[in-house]
Structure 1
Amino acid sequence: MMTWASGWLIYGLTGATLIGLGLFGFASHTNLLRRILAFNVVGSGIFLVFGATGFRVPELGADAVPQALIITGIVVALSATALAVSLITRHASLSGSATLPDDDREDR
């Protein structure tokens, strides 16, 4: 008998919450480092949701393929984050700001 507090359901709902919070943070902040952090929160939520879907039959345990893909995704996310931070530090050294310029001009 499944209850509403099954492990996969808690992981799935937590992942969906993280995805929502990350998207809100990405859309509401102009600071590039905060946007990277929000993007990583979205990625963590996706990993949780994907891991929750891989755990179908509790007696058999989790499927190995989603686990391998999640571990690979974590490594790729770490590499992409390092690249993004290095690009932001270069942008900040050239422009003097870690934010993107405003795009409010109407004379394009």
Structure 2
Amino acid sequence: MSGVTLYALTGAALVGTGFFGLIAARHLLRRVLAFNLIGSGLFVYLGAAGARGGEADPVPQALIITGIVVALSASALAVGLIVALARARGRAMLPEEDVGG
């Protein structure tokens, strides 16, 4: 197994774990962390895809750097909104859903 394949599989595992956390978690901060895990997995996978020819391609590297900056700012905005919601409601959890009628 080559290093590129290992990075691609690691990225896929991070995306899968983050997707599970995004669906399973009710606490909003855990959902933000799961969303960041998905983004990190995509960055790792994109970096592996950019290194296929033996020499690194600068376009995926630029996309990764830009994505990291956007993910950081979106995470800061999400945490700020969660803090404001927690102050207003007293908790940072999603409400219980009534499944039965």
Question: TM-score of the superposition, structure 2-length normalised?
Answer: 0.95
Structure 1 or 2, whichever has the larger Rg, is 1
**Which residue of 90, 97, 101 maps to 1:96?**
90
> What SS does the aligned partner of 1:104 have?
coil
1:23 is matched with which residue?
19
Per the alignment, residue 10 of structure 2 pairs with: 14
Shift, 1:105, TM fit: 6.4
Give the letter aligned to residue 63 of structure 2.
L
| Number of aligned residue pairs | 101
SS at 2:31 equivalent: helix
Q: TM-score, normalised by structure 1?
A: 0.89
Task: Specify every segment of 5 or more residues in structure 1 that has no aligned partner in the other structure, as ranges.
Answer: none
1:73 and 2:67 aligned: yes
Matches of 1:76 and 1:36 in 2, distance apart?
A: 14
User: Which whole-Å CA distance do the structure 2 matches of 1:104 and 1:73 have between them?
Assistant: 37
Which aligned runs of 4 or more in structure 1 are off by greater than 6 angstroms?
none
Q: What is the Cα-based RMSD across aligned positions, in Å?
A: 1.2
Structure-1 residue corresponding to 2:78:
84
Percent of aligned positions that are identical = 57
Matched, 1:53 2:53: no
Whether 1:41 aligns to 2:58 is no
* Counterpart code for 1:43: G
1:97 aligned counterpart, secondary structure = coil
CA distance in 2, matches of 1:49, 1:81: 20
Identify the structure with the greater helix proportion.
2
Per the TM alignment, residue 56 of structure 1 is displaced from its structure 2 partner at its CA by 1.5
